């Protein structure tokens, strides 16, 4: 059977630092790895491939089009499904990915036949076997079926980390990057997060139980990556001493000579300083750290397990060891002008190499959603607005326009005066820094537009 796996085009709405992160569609590479055993599979990455969909459909003649999704992609996914349906209404259309897991009903649409709430080797294999054999009435855990009114077994489940086939995106790989590092690959060595911070979706996606992947799988994954840079997107690479020691032992034993980037929590960093130093010696270049805010009460409210003085200690430590920090912060909707000022002062104190501040965004699956439901500025189905780039909660201490103005001033201050471009210039080269600053300018333009549109 011929199967076309599709990632929708980039959504322009998103204006955060993610403009500088553009990773491989690793979920589709996993599907590819399972399906290639029995089928002819191809990946179309519309984020970097300008080929018109119709042209691709005609060249590939697929029997199944399988589309991946994030929240902001809903409309784009439905458009791809509709175009496919219009091109040939016998093609089976399936959707999976983060949005299908968090909110499958957003894909209850005539043009979408199957929704994968979660994906495992077992359910993908069973699904395609049924399609192949024409036994279309089935009930497979995790799959919702339109012909049965999407009543399929909507069990809770977790996506399986399957060894991805990196070669499946060979023709696109030179585009994939993480900040200045290009090309860069991404991978994970564990899943789940027991910290369950109130604002974070990761524990909703991966579960609260932290599970380390099989050593053989990690080893094979590391060996399959040809790029010089690997980004580990585990929730907290230093979150467990056992896991980080095992990973570092493996990197050492494989004699890998690569740049590494990872997400780490303040708590994890402070608990594993010797592993951090060892990781640095093995190639760790930068950590993405969620400092979140300048205010301890807010950290408590977000159920973050660290304090602002912990963040300060981490900032100092990382500077001493020589690891770049890409910090993320959240602006609370109740901030006053004085809070924004105090926040800017605090970021200056921490002085990360790169920082991004996004407005607090209470995704529908989070406890925060209930707390702010009455103050939301857009609905659950304004999918494209759920990008961390827009103010989603009505500010309480100033008008929306004034709030956007504060966001703009803060972003300008952070990006133009604090982000240390000279240091980055040395490390990443002129082209990368130029791309980063152009990205920032685009973000400012977006804020100005949003500010002008906001009512006083």
Strands (E), 46-140: 64-69, 92-97, 114-116
Integer Cα distance of 243 and 264 in angstroms:
13
DSSP 8-state code for residue 360:
-
User: Binders of ligand B12 among 389-418, rule CB under 6 A?
Assistant: 389
Integer Cα distance of 72 and 433 in angstroms:
27
Q: Judge contact between 325 and 179, C-beta under 8 A.
A: no
Binds ligand B12 (CB under 6 A): choice among 35, 91, 113, 119: 119
Binds ligand B12 (CB under 6 A): choice among 43, 72, 264, 331: 72
Site string for ligand B12, 370-389 (x = CB under 6 A): -----------------xxx
State the CB neighbour count (10 A cutoff) for residue 212: 16
Binds ligand B12 (CB under 6 A): choice among 10, 63, 305, 435: 10
Closest distance of CB 274 from ligand B12, Å: 27
- Pick between residue 9 and residue 430 the one whose CB is nearest to ligand B12: 9
The DSSP bridge pattern shows strands 177-178 and 114-116 to be unpaired
Judged by CB under 6 A, which stretch of 91-99, 237-245, 274-282, 369-377 contacts ligand B12?
91-99
Binds ligand B12 (CB under 6 A): choice among 16, 229, 353, 356: 16
Binds ligand B12 (CB under 6 A): choice among 36, 83, 160, 228: 160
The DSSP bridge pattern shows strands 143-145 and 114-116 to be antiparallel
- Pick between residue 30 and residue 53 the one whose CB is nearest to ligand B12: 30
The reply to whether 32 sits near ligand B12 by the rule CB under 6 A is no
Q: 436: alpha, beta or left, given left = phi > 0 and alpha = psi -120 to 50?
A: alpha
The reply to whether 159 sits near ligand B12 by the rule CB under 6 A is yes
Burial-class residue 307 by CB neighbours within 10 Å (0-12, 13-18, 19+). Answer: middle
The reply to whether 301 sits near ligand B12 by the rule CB under 6 A is no
The reply to whether 92 sits near ligand B12 by the rule CB under 6 A is no
The reply to whether 97 sits near ligand B12 by the rule CB under 6 A is yes
Strands (E), 162-258: 177-178, 184-187, 190-191, 211-212, 229-232
Q: Judge contact between 295 and 188, C-beta under 8 A.
A: no
Judged by CB under 6 A, which stretch of 15-23, 264-272, 346-354, 438-446 contacts ligand B12?
15-23
Contact footprint for ligand B12 (CB under 6 A): 7, 10-11, 14, 16, 18, 21-23, 25-28, 30-31, 66-68, 70-73, 94-99, 102, 116, 119, 159-160, 162, 186, 201-202, 205, 233, 363, 387-389
């Amino acid at each position: 059977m011929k199967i076309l796996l599709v990632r929708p085009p980039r959504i322009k709405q998103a204006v955060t630092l993610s403009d500088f992160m553009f990773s491989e569609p690793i979920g589709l590479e996993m599907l590819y790895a399972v399906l290639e055993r029995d089928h002819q599979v191809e990946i179309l990455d519309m984020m970097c491939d300008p080929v018109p969909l119709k042209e691709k459909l005609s060249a590939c003649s697929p029997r199944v089009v399988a589309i991946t999704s994030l929240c902001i992609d809903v409309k784009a996914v439905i458009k791809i499904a509709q175009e496919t349906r219009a091109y040939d209404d016998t093609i089976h259309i399936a959707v999976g990915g983060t949005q299908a897991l968090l909110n499958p009903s957003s894909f209850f649409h005539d043009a979408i036949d199957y929704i994968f709430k979660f994906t495992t080797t077992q359910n993908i294999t069973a699904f395609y076997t049924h399609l192949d054999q024409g036994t279309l009435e089935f009930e497979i855990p995790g799959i919702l079926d339109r012909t049965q009114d999407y009543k399929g077994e909507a069990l809770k489940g977790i996506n399986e980390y399957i060894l991805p086939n990196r070669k499946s995106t060979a023709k696109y790989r030179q585009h994939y990057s993480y900040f200045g590092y290009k090309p860069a690959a991404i991978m994970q060595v564990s899943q789940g997060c027991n910290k369950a911070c109130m604002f974070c979706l990761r524990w909703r996606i991966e579960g609260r139980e932290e599970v380390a992947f099989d050593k053989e799988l990690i080893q094979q994954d590391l060996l399959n990556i040809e790029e010089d840079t690997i980004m580990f997107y585990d929730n907290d690479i230093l979150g467990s001493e056992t896991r980080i020691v095992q990973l570092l032992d493996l990197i050492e034993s494989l004699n890998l000579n690569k740049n590494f980037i990872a997400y780490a929590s303040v708590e994890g960093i402070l608990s594993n300083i010797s592993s951090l130093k060892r990781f640095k010696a093995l190639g760790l270049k930068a950590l993405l750290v969620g400092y979140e805010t300048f205010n301890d009460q807010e950290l408590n409210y977000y159920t973050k397990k660290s304090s602002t003085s912990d963040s300060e200690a981490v900032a100092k430590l990382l500077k001493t060891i020589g690891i770049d920090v890409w910090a993320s912060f959240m602006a609370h909707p109740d901030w006053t002008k004085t809070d924004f000022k105090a926040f800017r002062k605090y970021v200056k104190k921490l002085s990360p190499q790169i920082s991004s501040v996004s407005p607090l965004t209470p995704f529908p699956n989070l406890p925060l959603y209930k707390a702010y439901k009455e103050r939301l500025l857009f609905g659950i189905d304004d999918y494209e607005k759920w990008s961390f780039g827009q103010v989603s909660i009505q500010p309480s201490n100033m008008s929306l326009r004034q709030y956007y103005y504060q966001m703009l001033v803060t972003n300008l201050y952070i990006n133009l005066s604090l982000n240390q471009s000279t240091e980055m210039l040395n490390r990443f080269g002129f082209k990368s820094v130029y791309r980063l600053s152009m990205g920032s300018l685009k973000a400012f333009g977006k804020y100005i537009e949003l500010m002008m549109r906001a009512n006083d």
